[in-house]
């Protein structure tokens, strides 16, 4: 192994993990990441080949030319250095990651929109989450018919966490819709509209151009984690 310690992004270690299953082409790696089972790992396809190039330059993978239906295709394979780096990654504690959820950003700063629109956003998110939960539960049902092996049990464990998180998301959506529905009723009764709130916000900002989000000085700022 090389003398200096290699530092890679989680994305690159994800590629190493896929290659640990055996030699694959870039296209096959992409197909592996497309599998419904891989709910928990999404990768930009445009990054796959640059990452493979990086791993090859660092001496962690080998590549050979192969012909499939008269088309040349590069096949990538973990070498001993790659296996060593992959094993070191497996043994390190997994970090919680910062996450980005567009819906939460829209809700947190959505006062200039209508409450009805925010309810619609939550409802759409709920439908998507329910669809993903159904797919995860279908996979778990399929696993029940498979032979009990460590590999299959590990696959079930990963899908189980995803399914439980989706159940929690559905409960959150129900609670959020209930809260927003109360504000919708109040909006209808009082005549308080998104337009009037927007006008108040604009006027306030014009009076205080340096206005920033105020956070109580005694409140800890905790990075958003998964």
175-204 residue pLDDT tens:
999 999 999 998 888 766 555 554 544 455
Look at residue 137 and tell me if it is in a domain.
yes
Q: What are phi and psi of 147, to 5 degrees?
A: -60, 140
Look at residue 153 and tell me if it is in a domain.
yes
- pLDDT tier, 161 (very low <50, low <70, confident <90, very high otherwise): very high
Q: Would you state the pLDDT for residue 177?
A: 97
Average pLDDT over residues 128-139: 95
Residue 15 and residue 44 share a domain: yes
- pLDDT tier, 54 (very low <50, low <70, confident <90, very high otherwise): very high
Q: Would you state the pLDDT for residue 1?
A: 44
Look at residue 83 and tell me if it is in a domain.
yes
The beta strands (E) that lie in 20-135 are given as: 24-25, 61-68, 71-78
Last residue of a domain, one of 44, 71, 91: 91
Q: Establish how many alpha carbons lie within 13 A of residue 156's alpha carbon, considering only the half-sphere containing its beta carbon.
A: 14
Look at residue 3 and tell me if it is in a domain.
no
Q: Are 77 and 61 in contact (CB under 8 A)?
A: yes
At 55, which CATH number?
A: 1.10.10.10
Q: Would you state the pLDDT for residue 66?
A: 74
Residue 129 and residue 176 share a domain: yes
Name the domain count of the chain. 2
Q: Would you state the pLDDT for residue 42?
A: 83
Look at residue 204 and tell me if it is in a domain.
no
Look at residue 210 and tell me if it is in a domain.
no
Residue 83 and residue 30 share a domain: yes
What is the domain extent for residue 85?
10-91
Residue 107 and residue 82 share a domain: no
pLDDT at 211 > cutoff 70: no
Its pTM stands at 0.72
For residue 142, what are its two tokens?
């399929």
How high does pLDDT run on average in the chain? 84
Residue 134 and residue 106 share a domain: yes
Average pLDDT over residues 5-18: 87
Residue 66 and residue 26 share a domain: yes
- pLDDT tier, 97 (very low <50, low <70, confident <90, very high otherwise): confident
Look at residue 5 and tell me if it is in a domain.
no
**What is the rounded distance in angstroms from the CA atom of residue 59 to the CA atom of residue 80?**
9
Q: Would you state the pLDDT for residue 200?
A: 47
Residue 23 and residue 65 share a domain: yes
Percent of the chain's residues with pLDDT above 70:
80
Query: Among the listed ranges 36-40, 77-81, 103-107, which one has the minimum average pLDDT value?
Result: 36-40
């Amino acid at each position: 192994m090389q003398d200096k310690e290699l530092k890679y992004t989680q994305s690159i270690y994800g590629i190493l993990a896929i290659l640990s299953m055996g030699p694959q082409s870039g296209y096959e790696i992409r197909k592996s990441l497309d599998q419904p089972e891989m709910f928990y790992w999404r990768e930009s396809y445009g990054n796959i080949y640059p990452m493979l190039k990086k791993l090859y330059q660092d001496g962690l993978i080998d590549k050979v030319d192969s012909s499939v239906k008269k088309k040349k295709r590069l096949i990538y394979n973990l070498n001993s250095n790659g296996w060593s780096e992959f094993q070191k990654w497996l043994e390190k504690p997994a970090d919680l990651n910062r996450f980005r959820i567009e819906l939460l950003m829209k809700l947190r700063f959505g006062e200039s929109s209508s409450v009805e629109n925010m309810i619609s956003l939550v409802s759409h998110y709920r439908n998507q989450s329910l669809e993903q939960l159904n797919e995860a539960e279908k996979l778990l049902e399929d696993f029940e018919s498979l032979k009990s092996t460590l590999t299959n049990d590990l696959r079930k464990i990963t899908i189980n966490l995803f399914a439980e998180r989706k159940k929690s998301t559905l409960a959150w959506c129900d609670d959020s819709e209930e809260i927003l529905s109360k504000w919708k009723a109040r909006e209808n009764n009082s005549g308080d509209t998104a337009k009037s709130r927007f006008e108040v916000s604009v006027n306030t900002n014009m009076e205080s151009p340096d206005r920033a989000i105020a956070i109580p000085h005694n409140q800890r700022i905790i990075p958003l984690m998964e």
